[in-house]
Amino acid sequence: MRKVLAALLALLVLSSCSFGEDKKEESPPAPPDLSAPPAPVAVRQGPFASGPVKAPRRGALVGAWIKPDALTHVGRLAAVDSLQADLGRRLSIVNTYRRFEQMVGTPSDKEFLARGATLMVSWATGDNRSILDGEHDELIRKQAKAIRKIKAPVLLRMRWEMDRPNLRATMWSGADYVAAWKYVRKIFQEERATNVSWVWCPTAEGFIRGDAPGFYPGDDQVDWTCVDVYAGERFEPIGDLMGPFLRWAAQRPKPIVIGEFGVAKAWGSAGRAAWLKDAGRTFKANPQIKAIAYFESDPEGNGPNKQFQLTGDKAAFRAFHRLVRDPYFNP
């Protein structure tokens, strides 16, 4: 009997030890290996019909949004000039944001165009259903005339990131957005604003969730496909973050512009530099990507996971500098 009890006691001890091991906390996941080559994605090789803003046959154009100290003519020029001086090259694309009622063709717009840059206008149009009700026809016609008047090819991102959940109150649905897109484009055609390349630009997260494709207006309506992709809340290789978008875009005969990309300061200088190095390799591995634009800004009120300015971060800026000086990004 004593031997039986001893054996039972040993089993209980073993089982309790095993149970305790099962309850141990798992080790935190290892950071992603950003030194590995980017995963290949089947992409179209081109050439691509891209509207008035022509996609380079080889390589990709480089641009940026640079937040100025003041949203004035002088402030905008100074911000772009400062970054260009630090990079030792001119930007091929200057991204600029406009509210619905703000017209294209400001003095700084004209100055950038005179220097040979292409404007990428990120236009925050309003409520899609009010657009379809005709409430903003006069404003839309005014913008079409303003863009026509500058007589230079323009990349127009009509309500970029339309798939964001926090915009659903004004976007309503994918069907509403598509109808509004076609409505606005028809007005531009009526006003003979033929110098516009229409850029459809959702978020990388929208493709991860799966709802972004529902906002696509159609191949006959879009000149460039686009995606905004950030290592903000999630520090993953850029190829993983925008992989679902790239697989979707490969089915369409359109060039791609990375409308905004950035890596947050929260990930540290070394991490940011590694992410940017990997981004450069990923862009070059996907020849459908014909333009990229960094988001050089620390938006006010955002936490550390949404601060993306590279200036002042020596290691990260050095990595970006190497990227933009690569001959591939100077087609």
Question: How many other C-beta atoms are found inside a 10 Å radius of the C-beta of residue 49?
Answer: 12
Choose the catalytic residue: 26, 205, 260, 296: 260
One-letter-per-residue 3-state SS of the chain? CHHHHHHHHHHHHHHHHHHHHHCCCCCCCCCCCCCCCCCCCCCCCCCCCCCCCCCCCCCCEEEEEECCCCCCHHHHHHHHHHHHHHHCCCCCEEEEEEECCCCCCCHHHHHHHHCCCEEEEEEECCCHHHHHCCCCHHHHHHHHHHHHHHCCCEEEEECCCCCCHHHHHHHCCHHHHHHHHHHHHHHHHHCCCCCEEEEECCEHHHHHHCCHHHHCCCCCCCCEEEEEEEECCCCCCHHHHCHHHHHHHCCCCCCEEEEEEEECHHHHHHHHHHHHHHHHHHHHHCCCEEEEEEEECCCCCCCHHHCCCCCCCHHHHHHHHHHHHCHHHCC
If you search the block for the tokens 């404007």, which residue do you land on?
119
26 is catalytic: no
Choose the catalytic residue: 25, 138, 161, 190: 161
Indicate the burial class of 29 (C-beta count within 10 angstroms; 0-12, 13-18, 19 or more).
Answer: exposed
Alpha-carbon span 117 to 94, nearest angstrom: 7
Q: Looking at the chain, how many residues does it have? A: 331
C-alpha distances (whole Å) from 223 to each of 77, 193, 298 are 28, 15, 30
Residues with catalytic annotation?
A: 161, 260
